[in-house]
Amino acid sequence: MSDDERRPLALLVCGALMREVRDVVLRRGWDADLHAAPALNHLSPKKLVADVDDLLGELGPRYERVVVVYGDCGTNGALDAVLERHGAHRVSGPHCYEMLGHPATQDAERLDPGLFFLTDWLVRNWDKAVVQGLGIDRFPYMKDTYFEHVTRLLFLRQEPEPALEERARGIAAWLDRPLEIVDVGLGDLERRLVDLVEEPSV
């Protein structure tokens, strides 16, 4: 493919952030194509890195720039090494909870290591991503193993939605943990995207 045929920008987005990123793209009027990587890859950081590597190999020749919308997401720097090899860049941050919750999460984890974050996506997909994804539906005793360290839940809510709030309270009841809800909107995610897309100084 010649340079003249390449599209200007691809956003390679974690499926857990696709709805929010699409909203930003539409509101900002960016000429960008969105490509999703499976959100459930968070259950396996090695698979996350491998899938992003494969997708960047496909997208790199087709676009002038590729921006990856992931945090480090538990890869301990392996994801950044892949991005560097492909000449791609990602939004800053360790994970999506910090992007969406900033500054609400700034000190929360340090002050309470047992804090467990929920987002709109995780609340919507709790059964598939957590109950089934971690095998708790097949081995119910594993719930205590996975969540015994959790002291409370913090729901970083992007949009006030009664059905999601009810679902989040159901998750808290299932875990028998207190729930706090903080309305964060897009947190710092939009600003970090704008820094890369509108002012690409990297």
Average pLDDT score over residue span 120-145: 95
Give the pLDDT score at 112: 80
pLDDT at 19: 92
Look up residue 201 and give its two tokens.
């100084």
**Residue 50 in this model has a pLDDT that exceeds 60:** yes
CB of 187 within 8 A of CB of 194? no
**Which one, of 196, 201, 200, 198, lies nearest residue 68 by Cα?**
196
Lowest model confidence (mean pLDDT) among 58-72, 88-102, 131-145: 88-102
Rounded to two decimals, the pTM is 0.87
pLDDT digits (tens, 9 = 90+) for 52-77: 999 999 999 999 999 999 999 989 99
- pLDDT of residue 107 exceeding 80: no
Q: What is the mean pLDDT of residues 152-177?
A: 95
Q: Is the pLDDT of residue 105 over 70?
A: yes
- Note the pLDDT of residue 101: 82
Rounded mean pLDDT, 84-97:
91
What confidence tens digit (pLDDT) does each residue in 178-201 have? 999 999 998 899 999 999 998 765
DSSP helix/strand/coil, 152 = strand
What domains sit in the chain, N to C, each tagged with a CATH number?
3-94+188-197 (3.40.640.10), 105-183 (no CATH)
Query: For tokens 């700034």, what's the residue?
Result: 106
Query: In the prediction, which pLDDT does 2 show?
Result: 56
What would the mean pLDDT of 12-23 be, rounded to a whole number? 93
pLDDT of residue 18: 93
Angle at 103 between CA 122 and CA 199, to 5 degrees: 95
> How would you label 57-87 residue by residue, b for 16+ Cβ within 10 Å and e otherwise?
eebbeebebbbbbbbbbbbeebbbebbeebe
